[in-house]
Structure 1
Amino acid sequence: MSGSRQSISSVLIPMQQRPLLIPSVCIASIQDYSRPEENYPETQWLLGDLLWRGIKIPVVSFERMNQGRFAEFSATNRLAILRRTSKSDKLPFYAMVVQGVPQPLTLIREEVRNSAEEKGPMEKHRIILREIPASIPDLALLEQKIDEIVSKNQTLEASPSA
C-alpha cells in the first residue's frame, strides 16, 4: 500500500432528520431563511421561488422529497444555495432548506461505512460517517424532479386562459 489516502472536500449539512453529505463544490452560498414565493401548489416539497443574485431559483424541502417529516419554520432554518450537478441554462442553482450551518469536512474513505438502514427514495446511500448517521442525496434525481415541476408550471403559465 502506498499510504496515501484519497480525500474529498465535502460538507455535512444539518437537516431535521439526518445530515446530508455532499461535495463542497455544490455549495454556492448559505444564507438566512426567507420564505419563498409559493408558485407550486401541486407539490409539497417544492416550497416556491426565491430571488437570489438577480435570478429566480426554486426552494426545496429534501425531507419532504424523501418522504420524511418537515416542520417548515424554525429559528435554525437556513437556505443552502446549491449549484446543479447537471447542466441547465434555465436553472443553474436551487435552494434547499437546512437546519443550521453546514460543516465543511475532508472526507476520507476509511471514515465512512454503509448503514443497515433502508434508504429513502431521494437518497443514493445511507452511511455512518465518523459514527454519525448521514445520507448521500441523489442530487441528479432531485434536479430532474425540480426540472419536471418547474417546466410544467412554466408551461401552464404560458398557456392562454380559456
Structure 2
Amino acid sequence: MPESDGAIRSLLLPLDDAYLLLPGTVVAEVVGYTTPQPPALDGAPEWLLGTVAWRGQQVPCVAFEALNGQTLGAPGTRARTVVLKALGSRSGMPYIALRTRGIPRLINVERDGIEPLDEPDALGPAVREAVLAHGEPALIPDMDYLETQTHRLLGD
C-alpha cells in the first residue's frame, strides 16, 4: 500500500500496557517470539533478555517495558520479536530486537494525525513522547536511549 501525501507507514507495537509507534523504515522484520539465549553478562539488567538468532547473526533482545522502568510481564502466546534497524553509528550492533506482547499493526500516520498528549514526566527514560496517532494512544520510543543503553552493555 503506497504512502499517501505526507503519510508515514508506521507500526503500532503492543506492549504490556501501551503501544509503541515506530516508522516502518526502522523495522527490519517481525518474527515469531522464541525465548532469547540468556545474556552472557553477570548481573545483566532485567530489560536485556539476551540474544536472538536472526539471519545468521545474534541480535540483542530488549524488553522495552523493563528498560523504561516498568514491571516486565511474561510473554504471551501472541508475543513477537521485532527486529529494529539501529539508527546510531555504533559499530557491531546494526540491529536490536524488541519483544512485543502481540502482533504489530500497520498504520498510516498523517502529519496532522499526531497530537501530543499532556503527560507528566512519568513517561520513563526510554520514551521520547506520548501521542495520539489518529486517536490511538501511543508512545514514541527514544531510539538513541535504547541503543545507547544496549551498546553500553554489549558494545565493543
Question: TM-score under structure 2 normalisation?
Answer: 0.88
Q: Which runs of 5+ in 2 are unaligned?
A: none
- Cα deviation, residue 131, structure 1: 2.0
Between structures 1 and 2, the one with greater helix share? 1
- Deviation, 1:5, is 5.3
Q: Which amino acid aligns with 1:138?
A: D
Structure 1, unaligned stretches of length 5 or more?
A: 155-162
Secondary structure of 2:74 counterpart: coil
Q: Give the greater-gyration-radius structure (CA).
A: 1
Match of 2:32 in 1: 32
Listed as ranges, the matches of 1:75-154 within 5 Å are: 75-118=77-120, 119-151=123-155
Q: Which amino acid aligns with 1:69?
A: T
- How many residue pairs match? The answer is 149
Q: TM-score if structure 1 supplies the norm length?
A: 0.85
On the 8 A contact 2:26/2:85 being kept in 1, the answer is yes
Which one is further off, 136-145 or 70-79?
A: 70-79
Match of 1:58 among 52, 57, 60: 60
Give the match's secondary structure for 2:16. coil
Instruction: Answer yes or no: is the 8 Å Cα contact 2:125–2:145 preserved in 1.
Output: no
Using the alignment, how far apart are the partners of 2:63 and 2:108 within structure 1?
Answer: 26
- After superposition, the CA RMSD in angstroms is 1.6
Code of the residue aligned with 2:9 in structure 1: it is S
Q: CA-to-partner distance for each residue in 1:14-56, whole Å, 9 max, x for gaps?
A: 1111100011011111111111111143211011011111111
Q: Percent of pairs identical after alignment?
A: 27
